Structure 1
Amino acid sequence: MALEIKKLRVYGDSSIMIYQTQGKLKTNDEKLKPYQEHLEGIIKNLKEITFEYLPRVNNRFADALATLDLMVECSLDTEIRSFLVERMCELAYKKSVNALKTDGRTWLAPVIDFIRERKYLEYSTMGEKKRLRKYAT
């Protein structure tokens, strides 16, 4: 496996998809069969894989990860650092949040700049430009 991942925890809100990923159920949809076979090949290379079912009403974490996935563009040579996810047992507004990027500006600053000047950041990808236009509307 290119990323050398050995342990994986999978969160999902579809028990059918979890069972299919575990190999307990096979998909009948011809379009999905290649994906299931590919997943089975990946799973064989893992030392440990666990699945956690999240009922749809409790899957804010899965929704956040899906949103994060849509926001991040990377290529095969991109270095991806792992990150620690902590469960919060109190409301987020009661905690302070560091929303500054490395340049000292908030994540929202490029959106504000785009609204004011209609200019993209110098090295913006097409996806980042699309997101800026979306957030600016």
Structure 2
Amino acid sequence: MAIDMNVYKLLVIGDSDLLIHWVRGEWAVKNPKIIPYVQYMQNLCKMFRKIEFRHTPRIHNELADALATIALMIKHPDTDYIDLLDIELKEHPVHCSYVESEPDSLPWYFDIKRYLESVTYPEDATSNNKKSIHRMALNFFLNTQVLYRRTPDLGLLRCVDAAEAVRLIEQIHT
């Protein structure tokens, strides 16, 4: 497709370290079934003025996951037609999980925080509830009184209740 669109510079980002090294010629291909595919890719590479292959770990491959999801959701009657996507990259990543309401006036993370503080469960917790709280707590980190959620890339997201979320949103938008 890139060749048909007369692209002369191409950046290929893949999450398979093995494939990236094979195509770059840095690693030998030992599986005879794979050799023709790698040779075909190397021949295609000659059709570009500049082509770069870059490895990105799966954990950092949100864009590819998002594009794959979009591709599965959109069915176009003309399979040769592709709408252009305008992708805007923000300077600072922002992560948000939305919780609609807090009916008991406790923050959504109350049980997780209490578990991390004192390894106690709600009084009415069933065995399954206890397992769920324990399992969820593995993804959280408590620093004094501030609760953080660990991201897959080991970043930390600060957990806030509804009132603090409103205050932060107002602060950001003023």
TM-score by length of 2: 0.43
Equivalent residue for 2:40, pick from 38, 41, 57: 38
Gaps of 5+ in 1: 95-137
Give the letter aligned to residue 88 of structure 2.
E
Shift of 1:65: 3.1
Instruction: Determine helix, strand or coil for the equivalent of 2:44.
Output: helix
RMSD: 3.1
Question: Percentage identity across aligned positions?
Answer: 29
TM-score by length of 1: 0.52
Gaps of 5+ in 2: 99-174
Which structure carries more helix by proportion?
1
**Which is bigger in relative contact order (C-alpha 8 A, separation at least 6)?**
1
The 1:60–1:77 alpha-carbon spacing in structure 2 relative to 1, beyond 3 Å, is closer
Residue aligning to 1:120: none
Larger Rg: 2
Residue aligning to 2:94: 90
Structure 2 matches for 1:1-137, cutoff 5 A? 1-70=3-72, 78-88=80-90, 89-91=93-95
Instruction: Determine helix, strand or coil for the equivalent of 1:45.
Output: coil
Measure the CA separation in 2 of the matches of 1:73 and 1:30.
Answer: 36
Give the letter aligned to residue 94 of structure 2.
E
Which structure carries more strand by proportion?
2
Shift of 1:44: 0.4
The 1:9–1:34 alpha-carbon spacing in structure 2 relative to 1, beyond 3 Å, is same
Shift of 1:7: 1.6
Which deviations, in whole Å up to 9, do the C-alpha atoms of 1:1-57 show, x marking residues without a partner? 433221211112222211112122232122222211111111001112123322222
The 1:86–1:73 alpha-carbon spacing in structure 2 relative to 1, beyond 3 Å, is same
The 1:14–1:48 alpha-carbon spacing in structure 2 relative to 1, beyond 3 Å, is same
Aligned residues: 94
Which deviations, in whole Å up to 9, do the C-alpha atoms of 1:87-127 show, x marking residues without a partner? 24223779xxxxxxxxxxxxxxxxxxxxxxxxxxxxxxxxx
